[in-house]
Amino acid sequence: MAPDALHIVGTSPNRLDAREKVTGRTRYTTDLTLSAMVHAKVWRSPLPHARVDGIDTSAALAAPGVLAVLTAADLTNCDPYYGTAYKDQPILAGERIRYAGEPVAVVIAETERQATAALHLLDVSLSEYPAVLDTAAALAGDAPILHEHMRPAGHFRDLSHVRHVANTNICHHQTFSRGDIQAGFAEADELFEDTFSVPPIYHYAMEPHAVLAKYEQDSVTVWTATQHPFPVRKELAEIFHLPLAAVQVIVPPVGGAYGSKCYTKIEPLAVACARHVQRAVRLALTVSEACHTVTRHGVTCRVKTGVRRDGTITARQFDIILNTGAYADVGPRVATRASFVAPGPYRIAHVQADCRVVYTNTVPAGAFRGYGIPQVTWAGESQIDRIADHLGIDAMELRQRNLLHAGEEFSPGDLPMDADLPEGLRQTAETIDWPASPGPRRGKGIACAFKDGGIPHSVSTAVVRVHADGSATVFTGSIEHGQGSDTVLAQVASETLGIPLSQISLTSPDTSLTPYDQGTSASRTTTLMGRAVYEACIDARNQLLDMAAGLLNVPQADVSIQQGILIAGHERLTFAEAISQYFGLPGGEVIGKGEWQPSRASGSVGGSAVFWEIGMGGAEVEVDEETGAVHVLRYVSMADVGQAIHQQQCEAQDEGGAMQGLGSTLFEALISEDGQLLNPNLIDYRIPTFSDLPASFSTVLLQHANGPGPYGAKGVGESGMFCVAPAIGNAIARATGVRFYDLPLTPERIWRALRQARR
């Protein structure tokens, strides 16, 4: 796989979708129309926890343009529940409502306006139950239990036995341990114990969730903005008792996702509507509705760390509580990832992590760029600095003493460290002139984190068709949601087949047309689907070599391919010539297929990492003590991409992650009162803009072409987000002498803390 001379891999060609997008031509799901399409609007619960006593639909049904009103009672001949970890989420709340904003009924009308108007005519009688609005309340002994009966979805092998704690609101209790935590603490000279918190936040993809659905003659077609067309297909097939071949999930270009479009969301509801009215149905959420669909887990994290005076970490214990809201979504999976890597990329003999995923009467929390790592890293890496300060060891030096070296095992049996962490940290620090003192009210901070990237048991499959003129079409089910995967996958095909990018076209994801892919998440696409595309092209190459060998009457071994030309001695054949001579007519084609499943490739299904996704950050800040405002003067983000397929996009991915991290560090939070979201819109929920961009903002990419992806690539995209909060928090602590434990680091919070400290 090591590249000899690369032609297009590593360069930065124009994105395939650039022109369409900048000219406004791209048609997202909401831009599509189907013949005789009708519109669905959702009536959502005003109460966080309640019983539905009755729904009077008569007035709504009599309203102009209204075709039907769908309630839970209409969900017959199907499984009315869905969910990725547990089948715990009702398509529509029947007897019981578990969060404010939960879908209870749907009005289907000829126009969206008519559907919206009729919503107000629904008469829903509710009896309020006492609600548990945070994890503390949910864990209290006398707390009402949100879910009595749990039904595992059996989707993830690593969740094959989901650890639900009966008769509690603990949806899932994940534990990891190595060595003997108590012995580890006993070996330590000093113990540090701190508790950190991170509020729930929203992904804020520019495109809210939207689905078009058709249900005709026992077959379903949905156009949906999802990151997981194949798992969505599977769940729809299960819900509506259909064969997979009868369920078609088509994914138009997606306007951002960041995890908010992972797995099944509103697809079952849209399909239920289409089945009910036997018309094509459009269900497009508003931003506020999307905020009431999925969020990022709010986290409370207690960290206890034992160290020797020389800075050696002897033991680390994490107690993590994830608020997963009213339904599990992928909460249990976030728990497995977050608790596994919470201790950080360090050499620690004794580790224990407990992660409880807790149900509350709030909006369900699910996947979000980083998958829990940013939250636990805020805790772990803030504490590392506190330890360094206390021991009087330079924060960079302390980390260097404990960082794993390449080849060292983080966890027995897992993939050895595949990145040069000390080098990465050195470059990160160097970029912000660490440790040079930046002057008054200024401070610098660094942080390190990592994640087991790629989902080792997941499969990606690709097909490439080389046409009779030598041009090619690549079939992949990967989702282009702005990250640039289409261009990257086309580059891999171009490089591997040796034909120009202009000769390659990509099919858009469609479960009926593109081969199986687990999904577009966990920074897996470039590595896993990239590898599948690579293997498919190699398969096609081998067939072309065979053709040429036969046509030129030489052994296959004597034929080589250089830049799309088949060469044997002095003989030369273009792909087009080989194909037309082979078939004896200007037709026919070569079909190559590639499948990649890391666990199978590596001959084992053990281990959790396909590659280690490294994230480091370095920040320099200035704090205005009068206002509490934090100005990030410099920020550097470090990632190990193995081999950049598209150099510019690797940087853009990493910088995008860092900017998103800047938002959740400095001001993003979903604020609730009595279980009601107060800021589900762009006015009240602030996200980073260019004015928040640090004056100096850069990315360091390690490239040793040592990844499992094509040409040595590794995934990137999530890691930029890991370290922003602790790097900035550590910088603020150095600038002000005050340490913060709770995000976001708003001016008000900082101003109050400084005022407190200066008293």
- State both tokens at 211: 């689905």
From residue 536 to residue 575, what is the string marking binding to a second copy with x (rule CB under 8 A)? ----------------------------------------
Q: Does 264 bind a second copy (CB under 8 A)?
A: no
231 makes contact with a second copy (CB under 8 A): yes
* From candidates 61, 139, 246, 406, binder to a second copy by CB under 8 A: 246
Closer Cβ to a second copy, 415 or 504, answer by number: 504
**Which residue number, 431 or 494, has a Cβ lying nearer to a second copy?**
494
Stretch that binds a second copy, among 96-104, 240-248, 377-385, 642-650 (CB under 8 A): 240-248
In 367-420, alpha helices (H):
373-391, 395-402
User: What's the closest the beta carbon of residue 608 comes to a second copy, in angstroms?
Assistant: 14
Q: Could you confirm whether 718 is annotated as catalytic?
A: yes
Query: Which amino acid does the sequence have at 218?
Result: D
| CB 551, min distance to a second copy, A | 13
Residue 251 interacts with a second copy (CB under 8 A)?
no
Kindly tell me the sign of the dihedral angle through the C-alpha atoms of 319, 320, 326, 327.
Answer: negative
Check: CB of residue 431 under 8 Å from CB of residue 699: no
Among 502, 556, 627, 681, binds a second copy (CB under 8 A): 502
Helix residue ranges per DSSP H, 562-708 = 575-583, 598-601, 647-666
Contact, 641 vs 657, CB < 8 A? no
Binder of a second copy out of 227, 383, 431, 503 (CB under 8 A) = 503
Block residue for tokens 């992660």: 355
Residue with tokens 């109460």: 47
The catalytic position among 216, 626, 718, 748 is 718
In the bound state with a second copy, the residue whose beta carbon lies nearer, of 11 and 219, is: 219
Cα-flanking dihedrals φ and ψ of residue 388, to 5°?
A: -60, -50
Q: Which stretch binds a second copy (CB under 8 A): 126-134, 584-592, 665-673, 710-718?
A: 584-592
CB-wise, 452 or 595, nearer to a second copy? 595
Q: By the 8 A CB rule, do 48 and 137 touch?
A: no
Q: Which of 440, 419, 492 is nearest to 645 (CA)?
A: 492
Cβ proximity to a second copy, 335 vs 459, nearer residue: 459
Choice from 8, 211, 237, 532 touching a second copy (CB under 8 A): 237
Residue 747, both tokens: 């001016």
Angle at 732 between CA 730 and CA 738, to 5 degrees: 95
Nearest CA to 297 out of 347, 363, 387, 227 is that of 363
Residue in 173, 302, 593, 631 binding a second copy, rule: CB under 8 A: 593
Any contact of residue 347 with a second copy (CB under 8 A)? no
Query: In whole angstroms, how close is the CB of 31 to a second copy at the nearest point?
Result: 8
Span of 79-87, 274-282, 515-523, 680-688 interacting with a second copy by CB under 8 A: 515-523
The DSSP line for 204-242 is --SS--EEEEEEETTEEEEEE--S-HHHHHHHHHHHTT-
Is residue 20 part of the contact set for a second copy (CB under 8 A)?
Answer: yes
Return the number of the residue (230 or 318) whose C-beta is nearest a second copy: 230
Residues 288-327 close enough to bind a second copy by CB under 8 A: none
Q: Contact between 586 and a second copy (CB under 8 A)?
A: yes
Q: Which is nearer to a second copy, 101 or 515 (CB)?
A: 515
Could you say which of 35, 76, 689, 691 contacts a second copy (CB under 8 A)? Answer: 35
One residue of 589, 625, 692, 742 binding a second copy per CB under 8 A: 589
**Closer residue to a second copy (CB): 99 or 575:** 575
Q: Note whether 110 binds a second copy by CB under 8 A.
A: no
Q: How far is the CB of 470 from a second copy (least distance, A)?
A: 8
Contact between 25 and a second copy per CB under 8 A? yes
Q: Length of the chain in residues, anyone?
A: 759
Residues linked to residue 154 through DSSP beta bridges, in sequence order: none
Closest to 589 (Cα-Cα) out of 548, 544, 622: 544
Phi then psi dihedrals of residue 177, to 5 deg: -155, 150
* Cβ–Cβ under 8 Å, residues 504 and 490: yes
What does the alpha-carbon distance between residue 663 and residue 672 come to, in Å, rounded to a whole number?
18
Q: Which span sits near a second copy by CB under 8 A: 98-106, 291-299, 382-390, 598-606?
A: 598-606
Mask 145-184, x = binds a second copy (CB under 8 A)?
A: ---------xxxx---------------------------
Least gap, CB of 159 to a second copy (angstroms): 11
**Interacting residue with a second copy among 103, 424, 515, 663 (CB under 8 A):** 515
The single residue among 22, 73, 206, 605 that binds a second copy, judged by CB under 8 A, is 605
19 part of the interface to a second copy, by CB under 8 A: yes
Does the footprint of a second copy cover residue 333 (CB under 8 A)? no
| Whole-number Å distance between alpha carbons of 595 and 293 | 34
End-to-end CA distance of the chain: 62
Question: Per CB under 8 A, which region of 55-63, 283-291, 426-434, 590-598 contacts a second copy?
Answer: 590-598
230 binds a second copy (CB under 8 A): yes
CA distance 248 to 213: 10
Residue 34 within binding range of a second copy, rule CB under 8 A: no
Quick one: 36 or 62, whose CB is closer to a second copy? 36
Q: How far apart, in whole angstroms, are the C-alpha atoms of residue 562 and residue 488?
A: 21
Residue 463 is a binding residue for a second copy (CB under 8 A)? yes
CB of residue 238 to a second copy, shortest distance in Å: 9
749 part of the interface to a second copy, by CB under 8 A: no
- Does 84 bind a second copy (CB under 8 A)? Our answer is no
Distances (CA, A) of 335 to 43, 159, 181, 375, 638: 32, 11, 20, 11, 25
Q: Where are the beta strands (DSSP E) in 489-558?
A: 504-506
The b-or-e profile of 670-683 (16+ CB within 10 A means b, else e) is bebeebebebbeee
Out of 599, 602, 647, 676, point to the residue binding a second copy (CB under 8 A).
Answer: 599
Residue type, 533: V
Judged by CB under 8 A, the number of residues near a second copy is: 59
Q: In what order do the strands lie in the sheet with 96-97?
A: 96-97, 50-56, 123-128
Q: 385: buried, middle or exposed (CB in 10 Å: 19+, 13-18, 0-12)? A: buried
Which CB sits closer to a second copy, 20 or 408? 20
Is 159 or 429 the residue whose CB approaches a second copy more closely?
159
CB 224 within 8 A of CB 210: yes
Minimum CB separation from a second copy for residue 213, in Å?
17
Q: Buried (b) or exposed (e) across 85-105, using 16+ Cβ within 10 A?
A: bbbbbbbbbbeebbbbbbbbb
Rule CB under 8 A: choose which of 285, 446, 504, 658 binds a second copy: 504
Burial of residue 64 (number of CB atoms within 10 Å: 0-12, 13-18, 19+): exposed
Q: Does 507 contact a second copy by CB under 8 A?
A: yes
The region of 2-10, 182-190, 215-223, 383-391 touching a second copy under the rule CB under 8 A is: 215-223
Helices (H) and strands (E) in the chain, counts: 19, 32
Q: Which of 167, 217, 562, 756 binds a second copy (CB under 8 A)?
A: 217
User: Nearest-5° angle of CA 131, CA 134, CA 135?
Assistant: 115
For position 36 contacting a second copy by CB under 8 A, the verdict is no
Residue positions annotated with a catalytic role: 718
Interaction site with a second copy (CB under 8 A): 19-20, 25, 27, 33, 35, 154-157, 216-217, 219, 230-231, 234, 237, 243-246, 457-459, 461, 463, 465, 467-473, 475, 502-505, 507, 512-513, 515-516, 518, 583-589, 591, 593, 595, 597, 599-600, 605
